[in-house]
Amino acid sequence: MVGGGAGALIGNVHRIAARMDGEYVLVAGALSSTPERSAESAARLGIASDRSYADFDDMARAEAARDDGIEAVTICTPNHLHFPAARAFLAQGIHVICDKPMTVSLEQAHELAELVRQSDALFVLTHNYSAYPQIRQARAMIERGDLGDLRLVQVEYAQDWLTEASGSKQAEWRGDPAKAGAGGAIGDIGTHAFQLANFVTGMAPDQIAADLSSFVPGRKLDDNANILMRYASGARGMLWASQVAPGTENGLKLRVYGDKGGLEWSHETPETLWFTPFGQPAQKLRRNGPETVEGLGRLSRTPAGHPEGYLEGFANIYAEAATAIRARQAGEAPPDGLATPGVDDGLTGLFFIDACIRSNAQNAAFVTVMP
């Protein structure tokens, strides 16, 4: 693990997700920005002292040189270190599981995509929301045509933790362009919403118009984004990402409508997918319930009605990564049905951030996402 030392929220999430299904053991790390704090965190996590590294470059080299060196690394640092850390491990042929957004610039994203293409190692991006069973269900239903031709996409991701100026460690680096990149809310949560909508619908907008705001005085990056989307097919969409909406917690919501029906999913109740075939009663589709698409059972650990949530969704990313890594190690193709997000999702995310910035600079005019 790179990053994720003491006080890091997301580091513990990655560790639990990795541990959940018994597929990973944490044996090495460069957990913090100083050797001392890294060592301290390592000790607390049961990492042997000789495998606690001062930085990720050391770690990549040293682990690659060991017979029992790590097979995969998780990168959960602030955004600006994703690229150099991923580069270091990919260069050693070590599989990379990386947090999002993938990089802090579109240029880096292109470069990383190229490195992945040339590497034997796998690159997995933890767009964890796309691994919720009912999100996979939605994707499968759209793919098989249950909604007909898609017309409308409504996606939003609303939080309230930046309603006021905050001095928390989280808020600090996420609000600093040098560490977070050019996107505030659009990078932190907008990329999740964008990826989720694309993942479920199987299409990405070719044009977007973005109206970005920074409501809190002194804030350097956007804390709210109101976005219109246009798809090549003629479909239309809206995306709202906000970190200043009091009362929302981690409010990711997706609604998709076609000419035959609609689907609705909300992160607050992630195990329910509403299916609304036109002219018929709404159906409440539940994780592991009736109508679950074949093959999705592997993403569930318990029967319907035993709430699974965020950590289990995150663990699904790790489980899929493990499956893909095993297949790669065996020289086999990964089994059908894996849908682990990777470098393409990361690149698309950076195109999205870039397009938001460009559109906003032009008074929210529509711009091409991937020019």
* The one segment of 94-102, 106-114, 316-324, 357-365 that binds a copy of itself by CB under 8 A: 357-365
Site for a copy of itself in 202-261 (CB under 8 A): 209, 211, 213, 215, 224, 226, 228, 230, 234, 236-238, 240, 242, 244-251, 255, 257-261
Binding-site member from 144, 167, 280, 336 for a copy of itself (CB under 8 A): 280
Question: How far apart, in whole angstroms, are the C-alpha atoms of residue 32 and residue 95?
Answer: 21
Site for a copy of itself in 316-335 (CB under 8 A): none
How many other CB atoms are found less than 10 A from the CB of residue 349? 28
Q: Strand 95-98 vs strand 72-76: parallel, antiparallel, or unpaired? A: parallel
265 forms part of the interface with a copy of itself (CB under 8 A): no
Binding footprint of a copy of itself, residue count (CB under 8 A):
85
267 forms part of the interface with a copy of itself (CB under 8 A): yes
**Residue 109 or residue 221: which is nearer to a copy of itself going by CB?**
221
In contact, 171 and 189? CB cutoff 8 Å: no
**Residue 46 or residue 331: which is nearer to a copy of itself going by CB?**
46
In contact, 79 and 179? CB cutoff 8 Å: yes
**Residue 106 or residue 273: which is nearer to a copy of itself going by CB?**
273
7 forms part of the interface with a copy of itself (CB under 8 A): no
Between CA 84 and CA 164, with CA 13 as vertex, the angle to 5 degrees is 85
Question: How far apart, in whole angstroms, are the C-alpha atoms of residue 326 and residue 340?
Answer: 14
**Residue 29 or residue 258: which is nearer to a copy of itself going by CB?**
258
Site for a copy of itself in 50-89 (CB under 8 A): none
In contact, 191 and 172? CB cutoff 8 Å: no
**Residue 275 or residue 352: which is nearer to a copy of itself going by CB?**
275
Task: Quote the least distance from Cβ 28 to a copy of itself, whole Å.
Answer: 16
Question: How far apart, in whole angstroms, are the C-alpha atoms of residue 144 and residue 93?
Answer: 37
- The 83-122 contact track toward a copy of itself, x by CB under 8 A, reads ----------------------------------------
Q: How many residues does the chain have?
A: 371
Q: Strand 224-230 vs strand 207-213: parallel, antiparallel, or unpaired? A: antiparallel
In contact, 366 and 358? CB cutoff 8 Å: no
Question: How far apart, in whole angstroms, are the C-alpha atoms of residue 251 and residue 222?
Answer: 18
Site for a copy of itself in 127-156 (CB under 8 A): 151-152, 154
Task: Quote the least distance from Cβ 236 to a copy of itself, whole Å.
Answer: 5
Site for a copy of itself in 287-316 (CB under 8 A): 289-291, 301-312
Determine whether 151 is exposed, middle or buried from the number of CB atoms within 10 Å of its CB (0-12, 13-18, 19+).
middle
**Residue 240 or residue 352: which is nearer to a copy of itself going by CB?**
240
Task: Quote the least distance from Cβ 115 to a copy of itself, whole Å.
Answer: 31
Question: How far apart, in whole angstroms, are the C-alpha atoms of residue 1 and residue 185?
Answer: 26
